[in-house]
Amino acid sequence: MTKLERLLLDLGSTADEVAETLRIAGIRGQRSRHYNCPVAKYLRVQTGTLYAVSSEAVLQLEYQKNAEVPMLPPAVRDFVCQFDAGAFDDLALVDE
């Protein structure tokens, strides 16, 4: 398992747990902004690398040969879908 996969799994086993992990870390983000959603910002803080997060996968924005593109664990995918649909208002930034 890669470091990125471990970070994603450690966010939690449900969308609510993912949201709580992000709250505790003080991470907020924008809805439907792949590069600035809470999960992408969390990964940036943890790794120093820019990522874009969709409801399916994580893409590294900085070119790196053989960069990994992991699929999101179900809990993180659920969080992203729910967040983009309007849930977890306390984690949402209006504009940044």
DSSP state of 89: G
What does the alpha-carbon distance between residue 38 and residue 77 come to, in Å, rounded to a whole number? 12
Residues 6+ apart with CB under 8 A from 55: 72, 77, 80, 81, 84
Each residue's pLDDT tens digit, 41-86: 999 999 999 999 988 888 876 656 656 667 889 999 999 999 999 9
Yes or no: say if 78 and 14 are a contact pair by the CB < 8 Å rule: yes
Yes or no: say if 22 and 11 are a contact pair by the CB < 8 Å rule: yes
Could you tell me the pTM of the whole model? 0.89
Each residue's pLDDT tens digit, 1-12: 889 999 999 999
Yes or no: say if 33 and 91 are a contact pair by the CB < 8 Å rule: no
Give the amino acid at 19. A
What does the alpha-carbon distance between residue 49 and residue 20 come to, in Å, rounded to a whole number? 23
Q: In the prediction, which pLDDT does 7 show? A: 95
